[in-house]
Structures are given as C-alpha cells and as structure tokens.
Chain A
Amino acid sequence: MMRCQIVSSSRVGRAPRAVFFLLASLVAFGWLFVGGVAAQGGGELRFCLRSEPKTFDPLKVEDDASESIRYLTGGVLVRMNRQTQALEPGLAQSWEVSKDGRGIAFKLRSGIAFSDGTPFSAEDVAYTVQQLMDPALHSPTGDAFRSGPGNVETKIISPTQISITFPAAVAGLDRLFDQVAIVSAHSPKKEMAVLGPFVVADYKAGASVLLKRNPNYWKSDAQGRKLPYLDSIELDIQPNRDVEMLRFKRGEIDLINSLDSEYFDKLAATSPQQVHDAGPSLDSEQIWFNEVAKAPIPAYKRAWFRSQNFRRAISEAINRDDLSRVVFHGHAQPAVGPVSPANKFWFNGKLKAEPYSPDTALKTLQADGFRLDSGVLKDRDGNAVVFSIITNAGNKSREQMAVMIQEDLQKIGVHVNVVTLDFPSLIARMTQTFDYEAILLGLTNVDLDPNGEMNLWLSSSDNHQWNPEQKTPETPWEAEIDKLMRAQASSADAAKRKEAFDRVQEIVYEQAPFIFLINKNALSAVSPAVHGAHPVILHPQTFWNAEQLTAGK
C-alpha cells in the first residue's frame, strides 16, 4: 500500500524571516535526528507478496506468500542459516538426533514468551508436533516427517527438555524443524500468538499485511540490543511483476525477491548498486518426454521417448550456454542434474553439464537406427521425428527456451512444434490424461535435503512425472533409484546418504529422464534505504535476516 503525505505550503511567505529560519533549523535537526535513528534501527520495510496469503496458521502453509509470513513471524527450534546453509540454535539451545534417525531431543531456552505474553515451554513443542502429525490437519509441513506408519511419541522431560520419537527413521530430521513454527498450546490467540521477530498486526484482504515488531522476541544482537531492529514490515499484495518493478523504481517498496533477468538488467543499467546476483539458485528448468504406457501417443513415439539414446541425443543437441546467455541474459548456468551446484553438500561434483554437440547427438541417434534423410531425421521404420513441446502460456522465458530448442533440434533434423497452454490445461494433460509428448517446466526446490525430492524420484510417486504411479519399477535404473532413495532416507549417516544420492544423480545424468536445462541465478533488488541486507540463493533471498535489517534514508 502506498502512503502519501501532503505538505501544505500556505502563508509561509508572511512569517518573519527569523522565525522561518528557526523553524527550518528545527525541521532540519528533527529530520537529521529521525534519519540518524532510522539508520541505526527502526523504520518500516516494504515489499510485495505476489499472491494472497492463504493462511496465517504456520502448520497449514503451502503457498509462497504464507511461507514468507511464517518465516517472519514463526519461532523455530532450529534455524538454517540461509547464507552458510548450516543449522543454528533457535528456540532450542541444543539438540541431538538419535543414532537410528528416529528420535530427536531438544533442550529449550527458558524465560521466553509468545507475542501475547503466554510463556513458552516444552508443552508447546509437544502440542505443535502432535498437531503437525495429525492426519486430519493435512499439514504439508508435517508430510516431510511421515516416514512410516505409526504414531509420533513426544516425551516432556522438563519444561525445557523434550524428546520426540518418530515411527521410522526420518532423514535430515533436525533440518526439517527449520520449517516448524511453534504454536502455543495455551494462548487464547491460538496461531496468532507467535515466537518470531514479527507479529501480524493488520490484514486487509487483497491489499496488504502489516507486521509489527514482536515485543516479546527473545533474541538480542552482540551489543545486547533487542531484535528486530525494524518497527514494522508492510507487505503489499501485488501479483503484477511490472507494477512491483515500477513501485520499486519509485521508492515505494524496498525489496524485490526473485527478480527476472530482464528486469535485473534494466535496473542494473540505472542503479547497479541496488541489484544483487547471488549466483545459481536451487531452481531448475527441464524437459521430459512422456513415457507413460497408457498415454494416447503413437507406439513408435513412445519407443523413441523410452530410448536412453534418444533422450541423451536430444540433451546433447541443446545449446544450454545459449539458453543461459540469451534467455536469462547470463544470469543462469547450464544445469547438470537434479541438484544445483548451489546445494553445496548434496551436489555431485563429478558431474558436468552436457556439452552442446549436434554431431555427437547424431551419432548417438544412429546407434538406435535413426538416420538423416534430406535434413529430416527418420527412425528405422521411416517415421519422421516430429514431436511437440508444451509449456505454460505467459511464461516468457520458457517460451523463449522452447523456441531456441526448436531451432537447436532442427539442426539434427528433428522438427519440434512449440505449444503454449494455459496452466490448468497443461496440468490436466500432465497428470490426468497424459496426452502430451514433451513438457518444458521448472522445478522449485526449497529443501536442500534429497528427502524433499522423494516424491519426484520414487517410481510409485504421482510426481514421478515422466512415468508416474508405477506398480513396480518398469526399468532396472528406476528400480535402482527407488532403492537408493529409500536407503538414503532411512539412514542417519550423512556420508552414506551422500554416497547413495550421488549415485542417483549419476543415473539421472546417464538416463536423462529429465533433460535439465539451466539453473536460474537468484536475482534480487534492495533499496539503498535498507541496511544490513545480504541477498542469498535460498528463500527468502533478501529478507532471510529480517531481524537484523533497518530501513531509513
């Protein structure tokens, strides 16, 4: 929401000159004083949410807007430092994961209260965990903890000590608590009583959310000053990116998260100090072919799509450097596989992005009986290689990538029809009718741990996009991926988990069920009025350290 101040200038000219100077000096002193204080602390931070928050209940969060509010208002037991990617103590002073990976014990801080004054204790943690795991609540955050059938046991040892035992091992158990905002078991304000740095003070549906400093927030800085520094955060609900950009340029908002490369360059041209490129993000863009047995596509096309050589040849014929340079103006990196190099621990460093080589692609295709005939690639039965790639209409970068891939593949005689569909139609084809040949879409990763990708890699999963819901794995390599993913999920040994997931990445690279194209860079913009911002690649890029930010000229 925009705030305007109208300054009246009536009758200033009639005041005696000495009085005018005195007033002017007072105003100037006042401005300097207020400005000085703002530079040290306080102030209001303003930025946009790109959609209406669907809930303020931290256990029911599933959309980005609600996630941002949960991050700013929720108190968590452990917090992952978005810059170092290491876990840091939050409401818990210390914690210990059991050897079998099923249990975790927390030692909590004492003397902490919720925003409404209700004291915080182990009882609140037990209540939160029970709520989280209640099947009736359908908590998306809770899904990550569901490792096997059975109930979760919580044992309150003392008001500051609690142990939680899950029915089966949960990989990366401590990291998952970064997403669990503790709710009060006793507060009459329910989920609106929070333990985070800010509290929801006002909500105007469709317009804005106002967060104010939580007076009971427990954290202080190194000098002993109470955090957060900011007085308030105003979040305007603004789905239109163009308007968001304009408002940033006018100084009406202070931050933009996830900036498009086009906007980034425009802003960089005029105000280079305001833009930040934090390097490759966890997000990727990829193509996959339809390998579903019951899909309504010709059998000869299904045979192409199920051929490892065909998929690898297509991958080899795509110029990823050009995609990064042209579509994303250099603010993207050719993708290697399912894990971005930004994921420091889990990325398999042995793998390199597929080099662009149409000649190698043609040789790979020849191994499967394909041949070039007057510039048209044909299979061994004489069928011309023609397929469609669908992507969602309105996404400019995906449409541009599809058109560039169309030209790249033309060089090896493959004719591609680019089709843009509205998103619901695309999803219906992708998940219900399976009436498509290839899809170009993106993958947003919010979790560094491979457990967050279980639903993607298990062949039985409905998100195993190229061939979902398999009763038994249809290929040996999918069976191996299933085995490796289950093995890493049930192990508490980080080295063993890493070994298993490295192999998964190698299989995906070799088999190319997803042809990974690029990893977008994490681009953001921060106004010079904001102090203390250090944009990073992980969500929320610009305000991950909101409690230490200040806003003021």
Chain B
Amino acid sequence: MVPAKSLTFLLMDAPYEQTRTATAFRLLDAALRLGFGVRVFAYEGAVSLASTLQKPHANAIHGRSLEEEDHPTPHVWISALVQLAQERGAQFEWVNCGLCVDERGVTEVVSGVRRGSPADFWKMASESDNTLVIPTR
C-alpha cells in the first residue's frame, strides 16, 4: 500500500484578525477530504487558534442571542479537523511553537495539539510532499 501524501502548512496569523485564517482552515479541510495527511505548525499569533479560552458571544448590537449569533471559535474548528482526520484514518498533526505559546500564555489548548519548536517545522517540511507557508503581513 502506497502511503498517503502529506502536506505541511505553516500559519502565523492570530485568530479573529485576517481572512487568511479562514482560508487556511478551508485548505486544511480540503486536504483532509482529498485524503492527504496534514501537518500544521502554528507560529507567532497562530498558536492562539487552539486556545480553549476562546468564548462565543451574543451580539447585542444586532439583538442576536448566543445561539443565534453562532459565533465561530477557531479551537472548535481545530477539534473538527482532528475528528475529520480520525474518521478518515488520515494523519493530522498540529504543533504550536513553544516560545510563542509562552509569550502569549496559551497554555490551555484543544486535544490533539502539542507544543514543539521550529525544529518540528523543519522535520514536518522534510517529511512532507510539499509545504505552504501562509505568512502574516
């Protein structure tokens, strides 16, 4: 059996700031659905994507309740990707840069996310079929 191809993605943007984050999640989802193994290295502000301290909120300005607003939280998206990978038997790895985590105090993260270092990114990129760096500006 030929092992599935794998792709590595490096993310840098913090949650709730850039369209790039939503695009990145769309790419991760598409890659898993196409059967690729997916590896993510979260650098700088992107380590906060996995924070379980994110909370959805109501929208008082528009008069919407918490349920009606259905405010997205990126850590839930990561959990959904972890689950999707499990259902499909695909590789999914998410590593947060340790120094970036310490700087930002992102100590509580969703299951399936681990702490690492830029050396992990090098290893991921070396072992993958390709790597896409989605840089911040």
Q: Do these two chains really belong together in a complex?
A: no
Q: Which residues of B contact A (CB under 8 A)?
A: none
